[in-house]
Structure 1
Amino acid sequence: GRQESQVGFPTPKPALTSPSDGRTYVMYHGTTRECADSIRNNGFRRSSKGMLGPGVYLSRDLEKARRYPIDHPDEDRVIIKVKVNVGRIIVITHQNHPLQETWSSNGYDSAWVPPNCGMVKSGLEENCIWDPSRIQVIEIIKPKQAPPIPDCYLFVVL
């Protein structure tokens, strides 16, 4: 018998490019069922702290939102899908950026951390929106528990 091996790689998703000023984007926020109900009824509220200072933390990357809240049981996690007008945006690419936590008082409506820039452990992008009224809830979705995707697949035909 002849042996053949074939290695296939999953198709990489396109990298998220920098959001543009004044544009509206679909983003995601991972939270608990209870918090999602409160957000649906009363809207988002700024967190008091975080890597980018106070604001509402969102991501255009569904995978990022799926991981939150960290250390919470899967059955209590939901994702809020939203539309956001980002307004005037600043790109924060490194820790200790001079406006990392003060961008909102310097004329910016939102801050964006690009993927794989070293600021976020997961390497996934993150957005912080100062004014919750820029955010409109589309729907609340239950994340699918997808198994981790291996770096490659190996198929052997004998």
Structure 2
Amino acid sequence: MNQFKWAEDDFDLPAGAFRLGPSDPQPVNGKTYIMYHGTTRKNAELIKANGFARSAGGMLGPGVYLSRDLLKASRYPIDHPEHDKVVIRVTVNVGKVIVINRQYHPRQKNWHDRRYGEVYDTAWVPPSCGMVKSGLEENCVWDPKRIKINNTIKPSPVGAGGLCYLWTEPC
């Protein structure tokens, strides 16, 4: 059975962008972050050619679902063969962020709609709040124009005689 390892090459952060870190666990209004979107190879090519499009629905309603956690994004699409998965690394200006930290939150699916109060650009689900089975964070961005595609990350095969951690250690 083939196994795969998700890792990214070291890269310089774009000017003004931040990574997920312990000192900045919640996305801060107006900051730009490195985020990730897991998809299939075919869909990644379509996204690179046409940009992101809002989903019709989901846990947080319509939007583009991303995470600042590469391992979270690498799980998608769930139950899809690992060798056909790709993670798209993006830069996102989160704009105004709302925290959705429980199921049935009053703004869970309408955070972007002014008919229900204040308008937000991004909804953030904190890690370990009980909304996501993996316990990892999730973000939903309303306007795809806030998202800039950087590149794609593919899984590296590992196993007997293979290499782990992108060419640095024998398995």
TM-score range, shorter chain: 0.7 to 0.9
Query: In the alignment, which residue of structure 2 is the partner of 1:88?
Result: 96
Query: In the alignment, which residue of structure 2 is the partner of 1:137?
Result: 149
Sort the Cα spacing of 1:63 and 1:146 in 2 relative to 1 into closer, same or farther, 3 A.
farther
Residue 124 in 1 paired to residue 124 in 2?
Answer: no
Q: Following superposition of structure 1 onto structure 2, how do residues 1-150 of structure 1 map, counting pairs within 5 Å?
A: 15=22, 17-106=25-114, 107-144=119-156
- Distance (whole Å) between structure 2 residues aligned to residue 66 and residue 131 of structure 1: 22
- Distance (whole Å) between structure 2 residues aligned to residue 98 and residue 75 of structure 1: 39
- Distance (whole Å) between structure 1 residues aligned to residue 157 and residue 94 of structure 2: 29
- SS of the aligned residue for 2:71 comes to helix
Return the letter of the residue paired with 1:133.
K
What TM-score, normalized to structure 1?
A: 0.81
- SS of the aligned residue for 2:112 comes to helix
1:146 Cα deviation after fit:
7.2
Identity of aligned residues (%): 61
> Which ranges of 4 or more aligned residues in structure 1 deviate by more than 2 Å?
13-16, 143-147
CA-atom RMSD in angstroms: 1.7
Deviations 1:96-144 (A, max 9, x none): 0000000001410010000000100000000000000000000011034
Unaligned runs of 5+ in 1: 1-12, 148-158
- Distance (whole Å) between structure 2 residues aligned to residue 146 and residue 58 of structure 1: 26
- Distance (whole Å) between structure 1 residues aligned to residue 137 and residue 89 of structure 2: 16
Unaligned runs of 5+ in 2: 1-19, 160-171
- Distance (whole Å) between structure 2 residues aligned to residue 146 and residue 21 of structure 1: 39
